[in-house]
Amino acid sequence: MLGVCMIFAAIGIETNFSAIDWCIVAVYLLGTAVIGLCVNRFVKSVGDYIVAGRAIKPYLGIATMIGTELGLVTVMYAAQKGFTGGFSAFHIALVAAIVTLAVGLSGFIVVPLRQMGVMTIPEFYEKRFGRGVRVFGGAILVASGVLNMGLFLKAGSIFVTGITGMTSPLALKLVLSGLLGLVLIYTVLGGMISVIVTDYVQFVVLSFGLIVSCIFAVNKLGWQTIIDTVTAQHGPAGLNPFHSDGFGIQYVIWMAFLGLVSCAIWQTAVVRACSAENPKVVKRMYSFSSVGFMVRFLVPNFLGICALVYICQTPALQSIFLPDDGNADSGMTLMAMPVFIGNILPTGILGIITAGMLAAFMSTHDSYLLCWSSVLTQDVIAPCFKDGLSNKTRLRLTRTFVVLIGLFLLLWGLWYPLGQDLWDYMAITGAVYSTGAFALLVFGIYWKRASSTGAYLALCSGGLAALGLKPIAELFNLNASAETVGLATIGLAVVTMVLGSLAMPNTRPAASEEN
Amino acid sequence: MAFWTTFWTVVLIIGVALFAVLSVVVTIGGWFDIRALFESIKAQHTQAESEDRDTSADRKAHSN
């Protein structure tokens, strides 16, 4: 991060970000935090805190689902994919929409989960496979989830640097620590109700902000120039996602699986299904959210493509973002989109968009912090106590974990060397949990013979996905791409689940079958 | 190449247009849902409090 700041200061890139924009950002963020704090009075039980009393109706469900998934980090990594992959990157958006719509229409996984009335996925593990699987699965889920959000702060700081031109590393750290502090305060106090209300506000600002940015971008660069530049830079691979010089078939299949994970297996999305009023609302939420799941990639992908075109037209930027050897640093490619936005949007609109993005940054943090800390409390700690834990103790524990995870994020964001596209890092850290969880959910719901032995084996297999992380792959001298490792892990998790279940079936029926 | 150019152009236009419509609908509908959420939670709390009161009254009656 320090290196990026120094390069940025040395070349002296200018942005349109002014004092007026800072004022807009400050007022907006404080306002959001105040709203988050005001709804604290509605929290009286763990149910209110974690699933908002299960009283969420469809429109609010859609807004919060998209609000959570369309965060600053999503915008950053999707824009990076557009920058490095061209129009081919749109396949990620398209596949995500198709998979989410299919889940919405069929109710695959999410409807049975809502019908069972669980709050978290590990709670399902217990009902289906027993308490041990719940604790083990919960621990893997939290480890994977916290690592997955480990670089959110880094992405946030790159965004702030790029869009505001703020080059002092100290000022940057202070701004981001302040943002994280605000999130921690209102998440600790307000729980899911404040998360939902702030997600709604963020959805409104960010959705309109992104549409306005697209209009400005096309207006500034011209549609034909965009297509011509992408073709010149990436060749056919910039348009055809199946082209072997670009993403390739394997990557597209991997994205289809990740589309399913994002909407039906990832706890932060599933918690929305569990908070819905009834299964019918769940189906409607998912069907409509398929548009949101598409756009959360599509629009930032497009902004990343526009950033590429803008940089190609600006020689001073070209030498930094597109070096002759073709190996641009992943930190720099992440910064391309905010630099572009900071240059094309006028003062005022830039402030509103930045505020929306930073609010999105906070909103994703609050949802994820709440999610992982409640899983830790409900699924890892509480089941270890024979007599259970009181409501008060659970609330206190959840709030403590929110703060501890927040501190971990500060340290991890500074320490970890990215070395690959942010999206690929997130896909692989998420796969540590999701590949095993996929097998447990699908077989647990739809196959009566699935046993706890199969579940343990599948969860352990999922852990192998960590081999797709660049530092770990280098450590073991592995040459396989992230998607190869991911797909192989899914296969292994499914095979171990089936073989383990057939070899060692459960002797007693699962709790869900007894009820 | 021409196929993919046309294809992605159509995907982008449809995607952004759908999102624009969805944003307007969800913004308006979500506002009413937030109000309904608060009313529903308030009602849940009131019901829980009255049940607590009933339970403690029953206990008192039994002990007498």
A238-293 per-position pLDDT tens digit: 999 999 888 999 999 999 999 998 888 987 778 778 777 788 888 988 888 888 88
- The shortest CB-CB distance from B12 to any of A197, A291, A302 is to A302
Percent of chain A with pLDDT strictly greater than 90: 36
Identify the residue whose tokens are 């190609």.
A312
**pLDDT for residue B1 is more than 60:** yes
Helix and strand totals (H; E) in chain A: 24, 0
Residue A21 CA to residue A351 CA, distance in Å, equals: 4
Dihedral, A199, A96, A84, A431 alpha carbons, nearest 10: 80
Between A418 and A440, the more confident residue is A440
The two tokens of residue B4 are: 């993919």
Residues of chain A neighbouring B46 (CB-CB closer than 8 A): none
Q: Does A93 touch chain B (CB under 8 A)?
A: yes
Q: Does A59 touch chain B (CB under 8 A)?
A: yes
Q: Does A297 touch chain B (CB under 8 A)?
A: no
- Contact criterion met (CB < 8 Å) for B44 and A53: yes
How many angstroms away from the CA of A207 is the closest CA of chain B? 6
Predicted confidence at residue A106, as pLDDT, reads 94
Identify the residue whose tokens are 């990436």.
A234
Residue pLDDT, tens place only, A29-60: 788 777 767 776 666 655 555 555 555 677 77
- Contact criterion met (CB < 8 Å) for B41 and A231: no
Name the range with the highest mean pLDDT among A104-108, A472-476, B17-21.
A104-108
Average pLDDT for A198-220: 85
Predicted confidence at residue A251, as pLDDT, reads 94
ipTM > 0.90, yes or no: no
The two tokens of residue B26 are: 């969800």
Contact A135, A121 (CB under 8 A): no
**pLDDT for residue A452 is more than 70:** yes
* A120-129, A202-211, A297-306, A426-435: least confidently modelled range: A202-211
Reported as a pLDDT band with limits 50, 70 and 90, residue A368 is confident
Between B41 and A496, the more confident residue is A496
Residues of chain A neighbouring B13 (CB-CB closer than 8 A): none
- Contact criterion met (CB < 8 Å) for A298 and B40: no
* A12-16, A259-263, A320-324, A370-374: least confidently modelled range: A12-16
**pLDDT for residue B50 is more than 80:** no
Q: Does B63 touch chain A (CB under 8 A)?
A: no
Predicted confidence at residue B64, as pLDDT, reads 58
Predicted confidence at residue A281, as pLDDT, reads 84
The two tokens of residue A118 are: 């669980």
Q: Return mean pLDDT, chain B.
A: 80
Q: Does A135 touch chain B (CB under 8 A)?
A: no
Predicted confidence at residue A515, as pLDDT, reads 41
User: Of A372, A354, A292, which Cα lies nearest the Cα of A63?
Assistant: A292
Predicted confidence at residue A423, as pLDDT, reads 86
Q: Which of residues 34-53 of A touch B (CB under 8 A)?
A: 39, 42, 44-45, 48, 52-53
Helix and strand totals (H; E) in chain B: 1, 0
**pLDDT for residue A92 is more than 90:** yes
- The shortest CB-CB distance from B40 to any of A44, A55, A223 is to A55
Contact A473, A467 (CB under 8 A): yes
The two tokens of residue B29 are: 């509908």
Residue A147 CA to residue A144 CA, distance in Å, equals: 5
- The shortest CB-CB distance from B41 to any of A48, A207, A299 is to A48
Residue A167 CA to residue B17 CA, distance in Å, equals: 37
Between A412 and A224, the more confident residue is A224
Residue pLDDT, tens place only, A377-389: 988 998 888 777 8
Predicted confidence at residue A1, as pLDDT, reads 47
Q: Report how far apart, in Å, the C-alpha atoms of A308 and of each of A82, A97, A304, A327, B19 are.
A: 8, 25, 6, 15, 24
Predicted confidence at residue A229, as pLDDT, reads 94
For B45, which residue in chain A has the nearest alpha carbon?
Answer: A44
Residue A303 CA to residue B46 CA, distance in Å, equals: 49
The two tokens of residue B60 are: 């008192």
Contact A271, A370 (CB under 8 A): no
Between A195 and A145, the more confident residue is A145
Dihedral, A413, A419, A423, A424 alpha carbons, nearest 10: -120
- Contact criterion met (CB < 8 Å) for B8 and A44: no
Average pLDDT for A483-490: 93
**pLDDT for residue A93 is more than 90:** yes
Burial A163-188 (b: 16+ CB within 10 A, else e): bbbbbebeebbebbeebbebbbebbb
How many angstroms away from the CA of B10 is the closest CA of chain A? 11
**pLDDT for residue A509 is more than 70:** no
**pLDDT for residue B51 is more than 90:** no
Quote the pTM value: 0.82
3-class secondary structure, A276: strand
Between A509 and A108, the more confident residue is A108
The vertex-A344 CA angle with A341 and A349, nearest 5°, equals 75
Reported as a pLDDT band with limits 50, 70 and 90, residue A493 is very high
Please state, as a whole number, how many other Cβ atoms lie within 10 Å of the Cβ of residue B25. 13
Residue A98 CA to residue A238 CA, distance in Å, equals: 22
Between A289 and A9, the more confident residue is A289
The two tokens of residue A128 are: 């289906």
Select from B12, B27, B28, B35 the residue whose CB has the most chain A CBs within 10 Å, as the one to mutate to test that interface.
Answer: B12
SS3 content of chain B, % helix, strand, coil (to 5): 95, 0, 5
Q: Return mean pLDDT, chain A.
A: 84
Predicted confidence at residue A390, as pLDDT, reads 85
Percent of chain B with pLDDT strictly greater than 70: 75
Predicted confidence at residue A510, as pLDDT, reads 56
Identify the residue whose tokens are 């992943």.
A330
Beta bridge mates, A56: A276
Residue A375 CA to residue A373 CA, distance in Å, equals: 5
Q: Report how far apart, in Å, the C-alpha atoms of A415 and of each of A166, A408, A409, A410, A447 are.
A: 21, 11, 10, 9, 43
Contact A384, A226 (CB under 8 A): no
Reported as a pLDDT band with limits 50, 70 and 90, residue A514 is very low
Q: Does B25 touch chain A (CB under 8 A)?
A: yes
The two tokens of residue A253 are: 């299949």
Contact A292, B19 (CB under 8 A): yes
Beta bridge mates, A276: A56
Between A290 and A196, the more confident residue is A290
Residues of chain B neighbouring A294 (CB-CB closer than 8 A): 15, 19
Select from A54, A60, A205 the residue whose CB has the most chain B CBs within 10 Å, as the one to mutate to test that interface.
Answer: A60
Q: Does B61 touch chain A (CB under 8 A)?
A: no
Number of Cα atoms under 13 Å in the Cβ half of residue A258: 28
Reported as a pLDDT band with limits 50, 70 and 90, residue A372 is confident
At residue A105, what are phi and psi to the nearest 5 degrees? -70, -40
Percent of chain A with pLDDT strictly greater than 70: 89
Predicted confidence at residue A2, as pLDDT, reads 47
Residue A227 CA to residue A302 CA, distance in Å, equals: 11
Q: DSSP secondary-structure letter at A116?
A: H
**pLDDT for residue A416 is more than 80:** no
Predicted confidence at residue A357, as pLDDT, reads 85
Contact A152, A413 (CB under 8 A): yes
Predicted confidence at residue A186, as pLDDT, reads 62
Residue A469 CA to residue A347 CA, distance in Å, equals: 39
How many angstroms away from the CA of B56 is the closest CA of chain A? 19
User: Of B11, B29, B34, B21, which Cα lies nearest the Cα of A208?
Assistant: B21
Output the DSSP codes for A35-97: HHHHGGGG--SHHHHHHGGG-B-HHHHHHHHHHHHS-HHHHHHHHHHHHHHGGGGHHHHHHHH
Q: Is the dihedral of CA A369, A372, A377, A381 positive or negative?
A: negative
User: Of A272, A155, A259, which Cα lies nearest the Cα of A203?
Assistant: A272
Q: How many CB pairs under 8 A join A and B?
A: 112
Reported as a pLDDT band with limits 50, 70 and 90, residue A177 is confident
